[in-house]
Structure 1
């Protein structure tokens, strides 16, 4: 073999070994040396490096210390948030054109320093291509230019906290920061020591591009407690996080009670199932899988599903392709123990190992490994270890393949390989993943929306849809921050002692009506057999309503699960059902107006106006059932991308005290119009209009189980909703203690929280398009489909 210094291209081609590479990372080393190997903070447009701060080491993939990063303290947090408040005023005051100019200059700066950006990304995290980052900046520069034209009646939230854990990618971090800036917010970027260098580099590039001082500040710390201190500074309007699930849940518990909306993207370690049907081009599919799993994209953990009829041929082709492959580096040496444990567990459960060479006893290198015949319950399938491991399973029919692919709760993206158009579209619709690639793998573009489902997160990043998390309706005032309360989560929502009814203790001359709630399309008493007295503002007994509990919620969820898939499949049927519901409501308008007047004490004229507006609101939702379903995205690659809005599934709604009928109809319409099933919890104070509305539901042609209405103690029903794993979203109007409980106990759900201290009823009567669009966006998740054409 020729010496490496004199090897020819032909020698490299014949041996299939890696060619010579340049030693070191000169641009990254020069940038680190300019900071004397000790990175500070970035506050108010410049780097600051106080001498009395503790430091944490930033390690490269081999575990060696490359530089140190400062750990911010309370004083730094206070200065940072104060600077961000001023930066928001300056940045938001600029025109859309001026903000877009700054972002375009940022794209030019990234191109100018592409070598440094690339080397810093490679040094600390999985590679992020400078070209991909430039495309990301340019895309959001366009949205900064078009914000007021394309997204009218929406305003920036204010100061946004972006928190990234050390195992997040640089691309994911930029996908949070750039849309926040493009929409006119200022950003406080909070990172761990590993992400401190790329975070500080981004801030310096933004300053070079002309971003106003304070519009982007960077703090670094040793753990997520720093992010909690940032939220506790009471200047933060929104918190978004990308990183591992454990730190994300800890952050939610730490920030619960401040009434700051939180969006989580727990993408590191997420699973990508690859389904190869017998009608696929097997060779192309296997080539792409091996490239992605063993060489190219290591952000996802890949799981391969092959149809049984072509399994033997696929395994034979894999063995041929893997022969002669060499061990590949892990992201860090600490991952070696996880990889060894995953492989040993799969082997014990009967999996066959396919490796080109045996692994070394230790070290950060591991050979590409296929685990053939692994069990569906194996940890390597449910939550694969971070390494060149490819679990392989077989399936018989298409339905079984989709079921196996949806088995893991950590699926963020999926890939389907088939030449059968009908099968591909059916598979795409059935897969529970935010992004689906058809006959392709790992296609990324900022115009593609990435929605988190199940354990992957509760927010949508990318595309037009990802912008709305950084905006609020202009007609809706920003939420005020509260300090956390002392909430005993163990006793929150505990059943209250039953109060016995004493015979002869009530007024027999005007017997109170006894209502039933609606569960699974039928009226029924509470499973507990208990009722609650409903009284007027003056204390007069009006009625008895069921005192529902966890068993009633479980019954409602079981009914919703059965009917929701068929309800979601037919938009035209939903249109007719909601128009039928509006007609039924109009026929009973007199009875409902009387109920609203009796319960709330408003005038009859005002009650009639609420009923009339409720009818109009239902007609609005009926008209939107088959509208606004997404569209085609323009991509720089050859191919087509489709973004579609899909229902969340089962939504739990805890209703406010104000406007008891109109709020019920508005939220019910938003949920079911998009194909969801809704479990409604009426106001504990004013439940009678909702109970009267049950007769309207029964007279309409909605399938039983699409809507359930359960009355009872609000905290007890809220806890029952939070404890049910099937409920994917909770819309809550109630106490700040209830908001705090939900943020702490259900961090990965899609929570839409409204403390009752900030609820005045104007939201429901104001005819503002952005408020209705906000409800609509809370009722959907987004799925992107990529179809190559060449």
Structure 2
């Protein structure tokens, strides 16, 4: 059955709104439109290429005015109680209903995908969280001023999916929208004020490359980005060293697998792939994977279904890229399915399926911006998962099968943030979705996505703002180690030689070097520990990768018992740990004993929480079932602080392995011995060898090794400002989840035992996946 003709659309209401603003849209600051003089402007064109209006290109003075307004707006907005904030968001839903036509027409005029109904659903969902924040999120408080940056391709829905949770939690927001989304975003800001949002709680600033300038302002507490990956990488590099956390949702341009098993309803699957690949505006690129036993059937239906389809418009300059990837695929033996031959016009190209594409083909690895769908085959289920995970992206996947067991097993094995079963492109704000691999470091949606916009109530403001230091990234961490000359004058008093733990075995460094371990006052030589190198890190990662896949498959109760065994091993060596802490850090025996006791308790807490914190079913307002799954990051590098060297180690170690990760730990360079003593407890426990590696040596050198290893998915770092800046710049490509703190963190932080503190550590160690199962 063919689709009927679409109804002709009018843009009269949108045109009238643009006329009201003289077709020159200014900034939205402190609750009103501002059109500063002597500013450059950018023209916006409609789908026909006609100039419709212009937007202002902001400068530094505008950024300062916007930041000042947001600070004031935060005080007003956060000063309201939860019920009052919820009422404003609900009132906006009513106001939006009255002006839905104007919003819809503006989105259509500038080809920005978003329906007012989807924004209303966002408002309804997050107004409920605004109402219940203090009840269900006790122990958390808003960050302050949140900066939302979006690339030019971003839809209005993507913008509001960032803005509304930030507002619901009590933050003020500065938006830098994409170029085409600016008019509709400005209109929504006007509606926010009409609904009762305090002036300054939402500001909008436009212009080229203005997002980084806003992020560098010291008033900004948090930056979140949505759009294509390259702009996100540029933003991360531009903000490195400014002390502001940045999260990235690379929602544009990802490659996603569309998997059809032989147990699928082939007709429904083919209709689904046609709609996903050719009928909708493509924010992602699909790769079709078909089981060999049904590939002929699928190809025949694709040919029939594509008959009569018309050529679609191409972006300017895209035809050359499309022709290049198609020719490369044909040279590799691929065949084409399209309803007509490509016309000579550079502006149009027919929908095309590239059958027999290789996984390494340019049309798969770096797809062109056109109506192309690579088709590959697989024999068995595991091969489908392997090919599906071959992409560097991890945004979403669509699975088609009538076998529910196969669907769930495949969904759990794919490294993506969202899986649709017998459907595609379904979204709802209650579904938490994390970007896996190069698709980002942010969780959007659900309760899990709210924590990006909150901090612990009892903690100070996150990451005190700083200024970048002059840093040569190529030379960071390459300083030669201090040469140690052995002193054999008194063999009886020879200092102890400690060993590190790599791949489940105690060993020396591959480099063969050692570093001195001194007492707290530097007067006494306590021993030598290995001077770890990049090769030690590589060996540790190799071992961790092998064991982590088995560790994550262990039941939660099995992980819990193994953590209890580690706690018992540590407790059995309590006297040794107390003596070590006293000798290394010069704390009193009482303080050392307290830290050891807290460390045993902390491991027991993680053991108890293993099967208590997890995902579950989601209350989607549709016919179907949605599940949220907490996946581990994979391999995590942890660079430990100097303060509380034992307690900080077991706190972070417990959080990481309780959630299914493998860990490579770098002890405090100043106080390494308590962490090295932990090796004995690890070996006495039944934890799998290689799950935890402990490598000593130069903190900067090992940080560089961790940052540049592509397999490591997250780094938790306590160290120098230079180290934080290096990680923020380097870990943007490939993207890694970062936690960067000063050398010691907050006073008394590690001794905290409240649930919110443990929950924060736990959430840093997981990434969320949503699975959608339609029932009708």
Range into which the TM-score falls when normalised by the shorter chain: over 0.9
Q: What is the rounded CA distance, in whole Å, between the counterparts of 1:739 and 1:153 in structure 2?
A: 27
Query: SS state of the match for residue 456, structure 1?
Result: coil
Give the direction of change, closer, same or farther, for the CA distance of 1:178–1:351 in structure 2 (3 Å limit).
same
Check conservation: 1:263, 1:459, Cα contact below 8 A.
yes
Any gaps of 5 or more consecutive residues in structure 2? none
Q: What is the rounded CA distance, in whole Å, between the counterparts of 2:110 and 2:586 in structure 1?
A: 63
Query: SS state of the match for residue 83, structure 1?
Result: helix
Aligned counterpart for 1:743 among listed residues 702, 708, 728:
728
Mapped pair 1:253 → 2:227: no
Give the corresponding residue for 1:698. Answer: 683
Give the corresponding residue for 2:632. Answer: 647
Cα-to-partner distance string for 1:734-763 (whole Å, 9 max, x where unaligned):
01110100000002210011022x624411
Query: SS state of the match for residue 394, structure 1?
Result: strand
Give the direction of change, closer, same or farther, for the CA distance of 1:249–1:656 in structure 2 (3 Å limit).
same
Give the corresponding residue for 1:421. Answer: 404
TM-score normalised according to structure 1 size: 0.95
Check conservation: 2:516, 2:527, Cα contact below 8 A.
yes
Query: SS state of the match for residue 431, structure 2?
Result: coil
Check conservation: 2:481, 2:698, Cα contact below 8 A.
no
Describe how 1:52-201 pairs up with structure 2 within 5 A.
52-201=38-187
Alpha-carbon distance, 1:508 to partner: 4.6
Q: What is the rounded CA distance, in whole Å, between the counterparts of 2:347 and 2:19 in structure 1?
A: 27
Mapped pair 1:25 → 2:8: no
Query: SS state of the match for residue 200, structure 2?
Result: coil
Check conservation: 1:164, 1:195, Cα contact below 8 A.
no
Alpha-carbon distance, 1:187 to partner: 0.4
Mapped pair 1:321 → 2:308: no
Q: What is the rounded CA distance, in whole Å, between the counterparts of 2:318 and 2:446 in structure 1?
A: 33
Give the direction of change, closer, same or farther, for the CA distance of 1:204–1:335 in structure 2 (3 Å limit).
farther
Q: What is the rounded CA distance, in whole Å, between the counterparts of 2:400 and 2:7 in structure 1?
A: 36
Give the direction of change, closer, same or farther, for the CA distance of 1:520–1:29 in structure 2 (3 Å limit).
same
Check conservation: 1:165, 1:195, Cα contact below 8 A.
no
Alpha-carbon distance, 1:114 to partner: 1.2
Query: SS state of the match for residue 394, structure 2?
Result: coil
Mapped pair 1:681 → 2:669: no
Q: What is the rounded CA distance, in whole Å, between the counterparts of 2:490 and 2:29 in structure 1?
A: 69
Give the corresponding residue for 2:223. Answer: 239
Mapped pair 1:770 → 2:753: no
Check conservation: 2:154, 2:178, Cα contact below 8 A.
no
Give the corresponding residue for 1:294. Answer: 278
Query: SS state of the match for residue 406, structure 2?
Result: helix
Cα-to-partner distance string for 1:93-142 (whole Å, 9 max, x where unaligned):
10111101111111112211111111211222442122111111111111
Alpha-carbon distance, 1:16 to partner: 6.6
Mapped pair 1:752 → 2:736: no
Describe how 1:298-697 pairs up with structure 2 within 5 A.
298-330=282-314, 332-479=315-462, 480-504=464-488, 508=491, 510-538=493-521, 539-570=523-554, 571-697=556-682
Check conservation: 1:537, 1:601, Cα contact below 8 A.
yes
Q: What is the rounded CA distance, in whole Å, between the counterparts of 1:33 and 1:344 in structure 2?
A: 47
Give the corresponding residue for 2:766. Answer: 780
Check conservation: 1:126, 1:299, Cα contact below 8 A.
no
Q: What is the rounded CA distance, in whole Å, between the counterparts of 2:715 and 2:124 in structure 1?
A: 35
Cα-to-partner distance string for 1:352-402 (whole Å, 9 max, x where unaligned):
111111222224432211111111111221232333221111111111111
TM-score normalised according to structure 2 size: 0.97
Cα-to-partner distance string for 1:421-465 (whole Å, 9 max, x where unaligned):
221111011111100011111111111111101111111001111
Mapped pair 1:50 → 2:13: no
Check conservation: 1:68, 1:193, Cα contact below 8 A.
no
Give the direction of change, closer, same or farther, for the CA distance of 1:262–1:16 in structure 2 (3 Å limit).
closer
Give the direction of change, closer, same or farther, for the CA distance of 1:383–1:133 in structure 2 (3 Å limit).
farther
Q: What is the rounded CA distance, in whole Å, between the counterparts of 2:493 and 2:330 in structure 1?
A: 74
Q: What is the rounded CA distance, in whole Å, between the counterparts of 1:245 and 1:732 in structure 2?
A: 24
Describe how 1:260-299 pairs up with structure 2 within 5 A.
260-296=244-280, 298-299=282-283
Alpha-carbon distance, 1:18 to partner: 2.9
Query: SS state of the match for residue 569, structure 1?
Result: coil
Give the direction of change, closer, same or farther, for the CA distance of 1:209–1:507 in structure 2 (3 Å limit).
farther
Give the direction of change, closer, same or farther, for the CA distance of 1:555–1:19 in structure 2 (3 Å limit).
closer
Alpha-carbon distance, 1:767 to partner: 1.8
Any gaps of 5 or more consecutive residues in structure 1? 1-12
Alpha-carbon distance, 1:541 to partner: 0.5
Alpha-carbon distance, 1:192 to partner: 4.3
Q: What is the rounded CA distance, in whole Å, between the counterparts of 1:549 and 1:572 in structure 2?
A: 36
Q: What is the rounded CA distance, in whole Å, between the counterparts of 2:730 and 2:109 in structure 1?
A: 37
Check conservation: 2:112, 2:180, Cα contact below 8 A.
no
Query: SS state of the match for residue 440, structure 1?
Result: coil
Alpha-carbon distance, 1:503 to partner: 4.0
Alpha-carbon distance, 1:19 to partner: 5.2
Query: SS state of the match for residue 532, structure 2?
Result: coil
RMSD value, Cα: 1.6
Check conservation: 1:61, 1:333, Cα contact below 8 A.
no
Check conservation: 1:63, 1:333, Cα contact below 8 A.
no
Give the direction of change, closer, same or farther, for the CA distance of 1:260–1:358 in structure 2 (3 Å limit).
same
Q: What is the rounded CA distance, in whole Å, between the counterparts of 1:468 and 1:118 in structure 2?
A: 31
Give the direction of change, closer, same or farther, for the CA distance of 1:107–1:340 in structure 2 (3 Å limit).
farther
Alpha-carbon distance, 1:92 to partner: 0.3
Query: SS state of the match for residue 447, structure 1?
Result: coil
Give the direction of change, closer, same or farther, for the CA distance of 1:171–1:334 in structure 2 (3 Å limit).
farther
Cα-to-partner distance string for 1:662-684 (whole Å, 9 max, x where unaligned):
00000000000001001000000
Q: What is the rounded CA distance, in whole Å, between the counterparts of 1:498 and 1:733 in structure 2?
A: 22
Give the direction of change, closer, same or farther, for the CA distance of 1:598–1:765 in structure 2 (3 Å limit).
same
Give the direction of change, closer, same or farther, for the CA distance of 1:787–1:297 in structure 2 (3 Å limit).
farther
